A and B are shown apart, each in its own frame.
Chain A
Amino acid sequence: MWQWLVRLYHRLGSPKWFYEITEKWIPWLVVVSIVGAVVGLVWGLAFAPADYQQGDSFRIIYIHVPAAILAQSAYMMMAIAGAVFLIWRMKMAAWVAKTIAPIGASFCLIALLTGAIWGKPTWGTWWVWDARLTSMLLLLFLYFGVMALHQAMESEDSGHKASAILSLVGLVNIPIIKYSVEWWNTLHQPATLKLTEKPSMAIEMLIPLLIMLVTTYAFFALLVILRTRNEILLHERKRSWVKKILES
């Protein structure tokens, strides 16, 4: 087991291995993303019953919740990749951390925008400065900060280091987002999905949400792979295996 992990770690550290293996993964991730989005959205938007309190505006949940969950997972992955870079100086980890930042920021923006649009018919306002919304906005600014640090530093290496440190410090915000609906009075409803409890929604509403959640993770993996491959092409351009790709 341990040896297998060590081998996986060394492979993941090899840009060439990553580039070649993801070549095979991309078509599958594209298929899962498209089929999952079509099934999940048609089911959620057209077939799931309407919410007895909110009516049809609750259907925003099928993009809002997966985007919000992913924005937080992506942040944690970015921080972990940053830590791997800081501790073991693995350049692949730095590139992955760098590529996650704009993607995570996009999902965070989707969660904030769809949340505001959902808030208007439900709470009568686009925005309130309550704990959940504010901590989620802070997550977006943390993503922007990480992206800015990558650009701002003199050398690429110090950009990677500085943004890794910021993303690790910003991890504090993740439990705050999660528990914000329990610790403070908020307009935001409590979590819809919980790992440890029975779901609070009807099964016909829940299944499309779970489909959208899985789809969002697959789509996220696809986006990270696409951007990381670009980083590899740029940084490894002098290697013979990249030259071979360029010449073909």
Chain B
Amino acid sequence: MHFESFADFIAMGRHGFYVWLAYGLSALIIIYNVVAPLLRRNKLIKEQTQRLRRERGRRPAVTGPDQHNPEENNAPSA
């Protein structure tokens, strides 16, 4: 162990402000880089699952060659 006490360690030989600022800012950037893709993954899975469910729900039970476009179901019939 290079330092004699914990307070000594925090002080970093009077360079504590610089050392801990450098590591603090780096930690923030690193945490963002971990959290961002995880949140995006959750959002993607949620959106795509909903889309899938919607498509399944609209599709007629018997799938034939003249399958309806899901969008057409909303159009008013003439």
Contacts and interface: CB of A to CB of B under 8 A. Distances in A.
A230 B46 CA distance: 12
A247 B40 CA distance: 18
B77 interface: no
B9 to A, nearest CB: 6
Interface residues of B, number: 31
A60 B26 CA distance: 10
Contact of B37 (A49, A59, A227, A246): A227
B41 interface: yes
Nearest to A109: B29
Interface residues of A, number: 39
A72 B10 CA distance: 32
B48 to A, nearest CB: 5
Nearest to B49: A246
Interface string A109-137: 11001100110110000000000000000
A181 B63 CA distance: 68
Contact of A233 (B13, B26, B45): B45
Interface in B1-48: 1-3, 9, 12-16, 18-19, 21-23, 25-26, 29-30, 32-34, 37-38, 40-41, 44-45, 48
B52 interface: yes
Given A46-B3, A110-B26, A223 B34 contact: yes
A41 B9 CA distance: 13
B22 A103 contact: no
A46 B9 contact: yes
B15 A121 contact: yes
Contact of B41 (A55, A67, A230): A230
Contact of A46 (B2, B14, B34): B2
